[in-house]
């Protein structure tokens, strides 16, 4: 017969063992009864679900466009938020003539870029905005007058330089300021009989729009820029104006030289000081 100390020892370890070698069924039953313990259930922690990441939309070249441009539509130029030199400070940006309803976006400005360089916007596919406003000359024409759409007639005024027109107040365009805004200016060359040729005799802007709708690429480009394929004079104006306002000079000889002397606290921000790298004649010409 086991001593009381032996029996107590069996009872204490009964939570782990099913018995402790008792010689009778009664002893086994007693030990088993002593071992019956109800433990509180441990609550199951529900894991926090991992949020499904929002997929980045894939931008592809519009279907009808690939054969007509080398623009990378998956990596558009940064027209909306360019990094500008320090001298484009509040003094300059206060002159911004961008209207609230036509803030620059990369997509619409890209459409404007295509419109600006496309000779199909002329009646005979020979001239574009870029024909008279040449990028290599500050979006100007080195000639006094520009050759028109017929190849025989010339414009009656020198093509205006487009660089930095965004920072011109009040924003009226043309030498005689007849267009109230950059947007309104965009229609002028289109309807001029000498420039792009869409005067009333050629059917005006409606005839140009019909021509654009018949292309394989403009419906897709307008959908890319505006969300649907509608082509209108207002949308043409918006797109061309956005691209033209994006023509901000940052790397010309003047920009490079002025960046070296610019001081926001200096009189007139050092605009009139001698610029490094400029000849004496060039510096005198700036005075």
**Is residue 12 pLDDT above 70, yes or no?**
no
Residue by residue, DSSP assigns 42-78 as: PPPPPPPPPPPPPPPPPP---TTTTTT----TTS---
Whether the CB-CB separation of 225 and 111 falls below 8 Å is answered with: yes
**Is residue 102 pLDDT above 70, yes or no?**
yes
Residue 241 and residue 267 in one domain? no
pTM for the whole structure: 0.78
Q: What is the pLDDT of residue 2?
A: 44
**Is residue 167 pLDDT above 70, yes or no?**
yes
Q: What is the pLDDT of residue 3?
A: 43
Distance of CA 13 to CAs 1, 8, 16, Å?
Answer: 19, 9, 6
Residue 116 and residue 166 in one domain? yes
Q: What is the pLDDT of residue 51?
A: 67
Q: What is the pLDDT of residue 63?
A: 72
Domain membership flag for residue 26: yes
Average pLDDT over residues 87-97: 96
Q: What is the pLDDT of residue 70?
A: 84
**Is residue 251 pLDDT above 60, yes or no?**
yes
Number of domains in the chain: 3
Domain membership flag for residue 87: no
Q: Give me the numbers of helices (H) and strands (E) for the chain, helices first please.
A: 12, 0
Range of the domain at 184: 102-245
φ/ψ of 101, rounded to 5, equals: -85, 5
Residue 237 and residue 257 in one domain? no
């Amino acid at each position: 017969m086991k001593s009381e100390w032996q029996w107590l020892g069996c009872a204490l370890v009964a939570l782990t063992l099913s018995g402790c070698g008792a010689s009778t069924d009664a002893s086994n039953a007693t030990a088993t009864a002593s071992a019956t313990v109800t433990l509180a259930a441990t609550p199951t922690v529900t894991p926090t679900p991992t949020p499904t990441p929002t997929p980045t939309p894939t931008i592809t070249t519009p279907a009808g466009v690939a054969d007509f441009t080398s623009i990378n539509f998956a990596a558009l130029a940064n027209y909306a938020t360019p990094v500008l030199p320090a001298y484009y400070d509040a003094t300059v940006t206060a002159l911004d003539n961008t209207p609230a309803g036509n803030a620059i976006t990369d997509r619409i400005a890209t459409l404007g870029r295509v419109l600006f360089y496309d000779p199909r916007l002329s009646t005979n596919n020979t001239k574009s905005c870029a024909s008279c406003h040449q990028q290599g000359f500050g979006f100007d024409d080195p000639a006094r007058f520009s050759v028109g759409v017929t190849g025989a007639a010339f414009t009656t005024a020198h093509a205006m330089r487009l660089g930095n027109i965004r920072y011109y107040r009040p924003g009226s365009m043309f030498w005689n300021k007849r267009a109230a805004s950059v947007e309104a200016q965009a229609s002028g060359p289109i309807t001029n009989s000498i420039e792009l040729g869409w005067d009333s005799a050629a059917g005006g802007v409606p005839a140009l729009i019909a021509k654009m709708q018949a292309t394989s690429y403009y419906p897709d480009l307008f959908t890319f820029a505006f969300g649907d394929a509608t082509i209108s004079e207002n949308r043409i104006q918006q797109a061309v104006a956005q691209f033209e306002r994006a023509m901000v000079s940052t790397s010309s000889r003047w920009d490079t030289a002025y960046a070296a002397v610019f001081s926001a606290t200096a009189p007139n921000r050092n605009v009139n000081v001698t610029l490094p790298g400029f000849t004496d004649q060039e510096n005198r010409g700036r005075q």
